[in-house]
């Protein structure tokens, strides 16, 4: 019997000039990827376009390599890890249809990657800029979803303290998704807070006056600012001069637009109360006549009676 004693090919070792050239090119590409600051993947996720940048890091679109699921990955340098501890702790336990899901946290030697639910509708801020202002029916739906998300947090004694349009995202069906829990704090029933945080235009007067405050009530105030902005297309206390803006907030000086329904005006006034204890609870807001669309119901009843 004739037996061949030719060379046996070892798996993984190229045996042609073209294969060796390709392998060398692959090595160079990998070396380039490992040495660059622009990391292309982390864990099971392939990083793609940058969605936004903030004070502490950036947010990138990414795709899960096995499932194809799109996610948003918040990338924060590890030197800011202390600021992330509370945010991650609270966010990973908040499970609500109108709160962005924190899917995974991937720590590396230099950075922390927060894998978040991807909201393809983008920021509510951009949504509003495109439309100018919202019709009351659409605002009613969105504001109701936001209130339920905040109520879910408050029921667990957690306050957000940075409610604003830029921290509210939309899914593909324009459903509200509350995010960015960087200023979140535990809120004990009788313990007051004193850290000044958030954006000036949405800040409650007691916070701007550096008074100790209830986290629940400053969130309520911010919701009132958001409601006004959705319906009117501008912040109630907006001003190019930040000191003048603070003055308006502290004095409660804003103009109520005439085109708003009486119920909308009443709800806004009830929320933007200078005295924190006079502001309604989230339960009361969700039961308000504007939220329940009483006017439209009465009109329908009137038409049926004719």
Residues labelled catalytic = 162
Closest CA to 285 of 305, 268, 302: 268
Q: Which pair of structure tokens corresponds to residue 215?
A: 């986290």
Q: Is 100 exposed, middle or buried (0-12, 13-18, 19+ CB in 10 A)?
A: buried
Give SS3 for 35: helix
If DSSP codes are grouped into helix, strand and coil, which group holds residue 207? Answer: helix
Q: Point out the annotated binding site.
A: 74
**SS3 (DSSP) at 42:** strand
Is 59 in contact with 111 (CB distance < 8 Å)?
no
> How open is the CA angle 138-123-78, to the nearest 5 degrees?
150
Q: How many CB atoms lie within 10 A of CB 126?
A: 14
Distances in Å between the Cα of 254 and the Cα atoms of 34, 124, 132, 279 are 54, 22, 19, 17
Closest-CA residue to 236 (of 218, 215, 251): 251
3-state secondary structure of 300: helix
Cα 179 from chain centre: 2
């Amino acid at each position: 019997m004739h037996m061949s004693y030719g060379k046996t090919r070892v798996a993984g070792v190229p045996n042609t000039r073209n294969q060796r050239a390709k392998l060398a090119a692959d090595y160079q590409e990998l070396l380039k990827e490992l040495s660059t600051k622009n990391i292309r993947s982390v864990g099971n996720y392939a990083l793609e376009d940058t969605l936004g940048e903030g004070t502490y890091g950036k947010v990138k679109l990414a795709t899960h390599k096995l499932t194809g699921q799109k996610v948003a990955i918040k990338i924060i340098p590890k030197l800011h890890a202390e600021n992330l501890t509370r945010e991650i702790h609270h966010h990973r336990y908040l499970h609500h249809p109108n709160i962005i899901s924190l899917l995974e946290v991937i720590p590396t030697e230099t950075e922390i990657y927060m894998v978040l639910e991807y909201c393809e509708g983008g920021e509510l801020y951009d949504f509003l800029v495109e439309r100018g202002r919202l019709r009351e029916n659409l605002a009613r739906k969105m504001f109701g979803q936001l209130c339920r998300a905040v109520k879910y947090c408050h029921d667990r004694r957690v306050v957000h303290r940075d409610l604003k349009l830029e921290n509210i995202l939309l899914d593909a069906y324009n459903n509200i998704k509350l995010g960015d829990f960087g200023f979140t704090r535990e809120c004990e029933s009788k313990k007051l807070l004193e850290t000044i945080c958030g954006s000036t235009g949405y800040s409650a007067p007691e916070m701007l006056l550096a008074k100790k405050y209830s986290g629940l009530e400053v969130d309520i105030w911010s919701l009132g600012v958001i409601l006004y902005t959705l319906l009117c297309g501008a912040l109630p206390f907006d001003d190019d001069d930040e000191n003048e803006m603070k003055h308006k907030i502290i004095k409660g000086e804003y103009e109520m637009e005439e085109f708003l329904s009486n119920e909308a005006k009443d709800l806004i006034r009830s929320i933007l109360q200078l005295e924190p204890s006079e502001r309604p609870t989230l339960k009361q807001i969700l039961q308000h006549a504007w939220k329940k669309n009483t006017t439209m119901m009465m009109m329908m009843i009137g038409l049926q009676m004719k």
